[in-house]
Chains A and B, each alone.
Chain A
């Protein structure tokens, strides 16, 4: 597979490490009332769609950036690649 890195252009997937569902960005608030339940869901529950899926890839043999890659799990068609840091910020993550 080829991942079109937003800064570096197309790179072989062999340079990357796959993590999984980009929902891992949405780490719950540790002080929430139901933090235990939220963290349980965060750590263990994932969607497993047959179709477009937002997932985390790490450019380990490259610039060490984490990417959010939108990939169709049935065709490997990649429709979007963003820096995970930008995605995290856009989802309101802060310090």
Chain B
């Protein structure tokens, strides 16, 4: 038995608040692994993604949910994220194994902190910090965008009619939470 044991303390762990009928919470065990498609072998990488997740890698700015619940997000022509629930610190290995070396993988789990915003007040709150047009005609379910909110780089994904997943850098998690909380309390 090792003498010492490490305890996981993600920055926003356990955060869960409601503002009117809108809920803001930090999803537990959110794992993120980035994919980069090798130059010249993009098709092989995309095929590997399809066979691993049963769904095509979407176009840039879009995401899809695979059969196993993992969300595939395409961030650019040669880069994407796999976002899934995974408690142990081996998310990268799990994805790499499924893709069998067809894409370069990097663990991004601890690079980011996640907040889920769900409820009728979501969009009005986000209008205060998000420069992206979140009207459902312009930003439908599954749409994803990297942008800047309150000086913080943020990845926003629409997961439902009134639900968004927001990812921002974990080191500035407290400032990020404050930005979203303030937006909610200002609009609720």
Contact = CB atoms under 8 A, between A and B. Distances in A.
Contact of B76 (A11, A12, A61, A65): A65
Interface string B144-163: 01111000010000000000
B61 A9 contact: yes
A11 B147 contact: yes
- Determine which residue in A60, A62, A64 has the highest number of CB atoms from chain B within 10 A of its CB, and name it: A62
Contact of A7 (B61, B131, B148): B61
A11 B146 CA distance: 10
Contacts of A62: 145-147
A61 to B, nearest CB: 4
A63 B131 contact: no
B185 interface: no
Nearest to B145: A8
A63 B148 contact: no
Interface residues of A, number: 14
Interface of B, secondary structure class, is: strand
Interface string A52-71: 00000000111111000000
Given A7-B77, A63-B75, A15 B148 contact: yes
B60 A8 contact: yes
B79 interface: yes
Given A8-B61, A61-B147, A61-B148, A15 B77 contact: no
Interface string B43-87: 000000000000000001100000000000001110100000000
Interface of A, secondary structure class, is: loop
A59 to B, nearest CB: 8
Interface in B104-147: 131, 145-147
Contacts of B60: 7-8, 63
A63 B79 contact: yes
Contacts of B79: 63-64
A19 interface: no
Nearest to B152: A61
17 contacts: A7-B60, A7-B61, A7-B77, A8-B61, A11-B147, A14-B148, A15-B147, A60-B153, A61-B146, A61-B148, A61-B153, A62-B146, A63-B75, A63-B79, A64-B79, A65-B77, A83-B77
